[in-house]
Amino acid sequence: MARTWIGLVTLGLVPLALAAQPYPSAGTPGVFVPWANKLFKKDNPPAVIVHDFGTVPHGTLLTHKFTFTNIYDVPMQIIDVRKSCTCLDADPPQKVLQPHESAEIVLTMNAAKFNGPNAQTFYLTFGPQYVSTAVIRVQANSRADVQLTPGYVNFGVVPQGTKSSQAVTVRYVGTKRDWKITEVVKPAGPFDVELTAGKGSDFQITVGLKADAAPGAILEPITLKTNDPTASQLQFNVAAVVQAPISVAPEKVKFEGVKLGEEATKKVILRSTKSFKVEAVADSGDGLTVEPFPAAAPVQIVTVKFKPVGIGSWKRELKIKTDIGEAPLTVELEAVP
């Protein structure tokens, strides 16, 4: 029996009811927990990290964003991704994480490729100096009698301040005559959601992205309540990238160990979809100045200079002004004798 169970885990074919059982955590006698699992859960991580998408309409493209942090003293990055099923996909970051830095990975499960309960596994290998593989299990119940078209809402890249909307259709093809969606749970993200009953057992859900959505990537679930006691809730995902009028890279600049009487220089890149000009930032008494290029362009390279006037460490939150808006920049300063 033990050999059969190990074989099922290896092949990724564990029934959902069994996969739903909690996995033993670090410290349990006889249980091996990869140290890479601690990148996702530092304290007492389980042998397998589990995310349950719950019951979903057939055709739903399920996505979940995991955050991981390099808690070790050497650089770390994802160097390999393996999957137990063609229904899985992953978008690993290419960034090399220095100690204490964090990143996100989006894992996807396509419920159009299976019916009923299913549990599958991602193997995320970290390295390269020291190598360990984190084990993440995702599971869902794809209802064949409830269909979602299209499988998710993706607004793509939307300029900040712009409203946008998309619709999906939920169709019930089962035997319950009075099946219906009774409510849309108010989402946490910057969305308006409207439910409209269509012909027969068709329901249209219109998702609107609000104009006041903050810049950055958004990935949120939309939850639907039904009158079906066997599956009272259904979910699908909404994704968007809200683009600020001006982006700054890097968003934070550090001047460490700059000696009195010396001057240090950093470069910051500002980007927009159209040409713009940047205003200079004068020294406010701490020796920090910002010098832009005088001509208008969609990409601006700004020079940030620090010539300390005193000893100590401090931080400045700058608003770099342009003729099309402001761009935030954090500057950390440290001056030494």
Q: Which of 161, 334, 317 is nearest to 251 (CA)?
A: 317
For residue 239, what pLDDT is reported?
94
Q: E strands within 181-291? A: 181-184, 191-197, 202-209, 216-226, 233-243, 247-249, 252-259, 264-276, 288-291
Q: How many Cβ atoms from other residues are within 10 Å of residue 154's Cβ?
A: 15
For residue 22, what pLDDT is reported?
52
For residue 244, what pLDDT is reported?
85
Query: 109 has which bridge partners?
Result: 62, 88
Cα distances (angstroms) measured from residue 126 to each of 68, 84, 185, 200, 285: 11, 18, 38, 50, 45
Dist. CA 16–CA 141, nearest whole Å: 8
For residue 27, what pLDDT is reported?
53
At the fourth CATH level, which superfamily is domain 2-143? Answer: Immunoglobulins (2.60.40.10)
For residue 285, what pLDDT is reported?
85
For residue 23, what pLDDT is reported?
59
For residue 134, what pLDDT is reported?
97
Cα distances (angstroms) measured from residue 115 to each of 55, 143, 145, 153, 201: 11, 6, 9, 21, 20
* Token pair in block for residue 174: 């089962």
Rg (Cα) of the chain, in Å, rounded? 25
Q: How many Cβ atoms from other residues are within 10 Å of residue 223's Cβ?
A: 16
Q: Do domains 152-243 and 247-336 have the same CATH topology?
A: yes
Domain locations in the chain as residue ranges: 2-143, 152-243, 247-336
For residue 230, what pLDDT is reported?
84
Q: Which residues of the chain have pLDDT under 70?
A: 1-30
* Token pair in block for residue 129: 């100096």
For residue 26, what pLDDT is reported?
53
> Which pairs count as long-range contacts for 186-193, CB under 8 Å and 24+ apart, including other chains?
187/220, 187/221, 187/222, 187/223, 187/238, 188/220, 189/213, 189/218, 189/220, 189/238, 190/214, 190/218, 191/220, 191/222, 191/238, 193/222
* CB-CB contact of 150 with 60 (8 Å): no
Would you tell me which CATH number, out of the four given (2.60.40.10, 2.40.37.10, 2.170.190.11, 3.40.1160.10), belongs to the domain 247-336? 2.60.40.10
Q: Which of 325, 271, 321 is nearest to 297 (CA)?
A: 271
Dist. CA 39–CA 281, nearest whole Å: 40
For residue range 55-66, what is the model confidence (pLDDT) as tens digits? 999 999 999 999
For residue 327, what pLDDT is reported?
85
* Token pair in block for residue 321: 């002004």
Dist. CA 314–CA 334, nearest whole Å: 7
Q: Which CATH class is domain 152-243?
A: mainly beta
Query: 136 has which bridge partners?
Result: 49, 122
DSSP string covering 19-56: HTSPPPBTTSTT----GGGGGT--SS-BSSEEEEEEEE
For residue 29, what pLDDT is reported?
57
Residue 75 identity: P
